[in-house]
A = this chain, B = another copy of it.
Amino acid sequence: MANIKDIAKKAGVSVTTVSRVLNNHPYVSEDKREAVLRVMEEFNYQRNINAVHLSKGETLLIGVVVPFTNHPYFGQLVEGIANEAMKNNYKLVLFQTNYEEDREIEALKMLQHKQIDSLIICSRICEWDVINQFTEYGPIVLCEDARNRNVSSTFIDHYMSFSNALEYLHNKGHQKIGYCIGRKTGANSRQRGKAYADFLKRIDEPYKEEFIFYECLHFEHGEEVVQRLSNMDNPPSALLVTNDFAAAGIVTSCRENGIHIPDDLAIMGFDNQPIAKIMHITTLEIPLVQMGRQLLLQAIDGKKHTHQEISVKLIERQTV
């Protein structure tokens, strides 16, 4: 494949001139520019991007770390990131980690190695001291409250929104409230757990481990929750479900088992995915696509660290 030197020779100019027309530099006479263009056409010239990267030290590639690609929460987030990336002429390198720390470190190392310009971490398992080792190599953006940290972030105040949701259920007359969540640890999960514990104290209810359901990620996990619920002597009367698909699964499973919603069990979802609307699920809207957009913009504009709090909205429907 022809390179810049071949073009230069054939067009009777220097490589510099060729480089200039390549980069739309003004200092090049019209006739030479045309000559170069003509030869490029003739040779079907394609510039070698890797050489450009080496020379400029940037790649227009942004890394995106997600635990799973095949999950509606991260699906929407990545959708937002991808749309904004497209607009800004960036491409994405996807890291599906399955919450394995090594995968996350691989991503961080690509940042260090300048194979990506910046890194968006949508959810992580690694500790802060790991991330801190890499902040010097390029912008890192988190999807969690990271205000006092050396990175940028876009986040929801999960403590607040979870508290409000619990309060809402309480005001509706519920005293025994449980919740379903993806995982035990993780910054966002911890915030929610704390909100839950504090709420119980406030209303003077005992903390019951069995009211918390982990690994609630997909529609199909709703079945297991209802199963466990059915076996309880004293089940909760309301459930906060941090994912609308899991909530939909619970609602569906309840129907099959003759559990009436919201009378026997109130369900409150999260995210306001389309499925929540169809199934009339009361939910807390989280603008994931918009958050994705924001994350990407912060990744591009990584010189200064910024922090964006996104607010949520309660959507009242028929499951509470």
A interface residues, Cβ below 8 angstroms from B: 46-51, 53-54, 57, 59, 61, 64, 68-72, 75-76, 78-79, 82-83, 86, 91-96, 103, 106, 110, 112-115, 218-220, 222-223, 248-249, 252-253, 255, 274-275, 277-279
Least Cβ distance of A280 to chain B in Å? 9
Contacts of A53 in B (CB 8 A): 50, 53-54
- Given the known interface contacts A54-B50, A59-B50, A249-B278, the answer about A75 and B70 at a Cβ–Cβ threshold of 8 Å is yes
Which of A68, A92, A95, A219 has the largest count of B CB atoms less than 10 A from its CB?
Answer: A219
- Given the known interface contacts A69-B75, A79-B69, the answer about A220 and B278 at a Cβ–Cβ threshold of 8 Å is yes
Which of A48, A57, A69, A252 has the largest count of B CB atoms less than 10 A from its CB?
Answer: A69
Contact of A93 among B61, B76, B223, B274 (CB under 8 A): B61
State whether B96 touches A93 (Cβ < 8 A): no
Least Cβ distance of A139 to chain B in Å? 17
State whether A50 touches B114 (Cβ < 8 A): yes
State whether B113 touches A46 (Cβ < 8 A): yes
Q: A292 to B78, alpha carbons, bound, how many Å?
A: 19
State whether A96 touches B69 (Cβ < 8 A): no
Q: Which 8 A-B pairs have the closest CB atoms?
A: A70-B75, A220-B274, A82-B96, A49-B113, A94-B94, A50-B53, A50-B54, A49-B115
State whether B279 touches A252 (Cβ < 8 A): yes
Least Cβ distance of A75 to chain B in Å? 3
State whether B68 touches A79 (Cβ < 8 A): yes
State whether B46 touches A112 (Cβ < 8 A): yes
Q: A135 to B319, alpha carbons, bound, how many Å?
A: 53
Least Cβ distance of A90 to chain B in Å? 11
A224 nearest in chain B by CB position: B278
Q: A295 to B53, alpha carbons, bound, how many Å?
A: 28
A220 nearest in chain B by CB position: B274
- Given the known interface contacts A48-B54, A253-B278, the answer about A91 and B70 at a Cβ–Cβ threshold of 8 Å is no
Q: A294 to B64, alpha carbons, bound, how many Å?
A: 24
Q: A218 to B59, alpha carbons, bound, how many Å?
A: 35
Contacts of A51 in B (CB 8 A): 54
Least Cβ distance of A23 to chain B in Å? 15
Least Cβ distance of A22 to chain B in Å? 13
Q: A72 to B71, alpha carbons, bound, how many Å?
A: 8
State whether B278 touches A222 (Cβ < 8 A): yes
Q: A114 to B48, alpha carbons, bound, how many Å?
A: 7
Contact of A82 among B57, B94, B222 (CB under 8 A): B94
State whether B95 touches A93 (Cβ < 8 A): no
Least Cβ distance of A243 to chain B in Å? 14
Least Cβ distance of A261 to chain B in Å? 13
Contacts of A220 in B (CB 8 A): 274-275, 277-278
| Interface CB pairs A-B, < 8 A, 27 | A48-B54, A49-B110, A49-B114, A61-B93, A68-B79, A69-B69, A69-B78, A69-B79, A70-B72, A70-B75, A78-B96, A79-B96, A82-B94, A83-B96, A91-B93, A91-B106, A93-B93, A93-B94, A219-B274, A219-B275, A220-B274, A220-B275, A220-B278, A223-B278, A252-B252, A252-B278, A255-B255
